[in-house]
Amino acid sequence: MQDFARQAKRALAVYLERGRSALKHLEGGRLDEADNILNKRHAAFHNFRAADVLATDLGIDLSGDAEILAIWDEIRKVDRELETSLRAAHEETALLYQKLREARQAISKYRSGGTEEPRFTRTA
């Protein structure tokens, strides 16, 4: 018989650690690395869910395990911080995108080949 409770605890611990790591990357402005870690974090949560189902099938209730509950409380704290950081990163990215769009519009006006008179004329 496999120890699904231990596997579930390990999966939750990995989920928590990856959340903390993603948070550090977000705070450091490394959005691509944070996204990669968040994808891996998602996989760790699925590992927990699988272990939980297998433990439940064996009659083991993980919802009362004190160690799992402690990890889950930490996960909630990290999730709140991640939500705040992701929202800030999203807003910053939207602002940068707006600036880029405005710059592209200005460049396209410059290169449009319009009928404006040249600013400088040759006199000599």
Q: What is the mean pLDDT of each run of 10 residues along the chain (124 residues)?
A: 83 96 92 93 94 90 89 95 92 91 83 60 68
pLDDT at residue 109, as a whole number: 76
C-alpha–C-alpha distance, residues 5 and 61, integer Å = 9
Q: CB 13: neighbour CB atoms within 10 A? A: 17
Angle between helices 31-57 and 4-27 (to 10 degrees): 160
Considering the entire predicted model, what is its pTM?
Answer: 0.75
Nearest in space to 15 (alpha carbons), one of 51, 45, 55, 49: 45
Domains of the chain: 4-110 (1.20.58)
pLDDT at residue 106, as a whole number: 82
pLDDT at residue 103, as a whole number: 87
pLDDT at residue 117, as a whole number: 63
Q: Which residue has the tokens 């004329």?
A: 121
C-alpha–C-alpha distance, residues 28 and 89, integer Å = 11
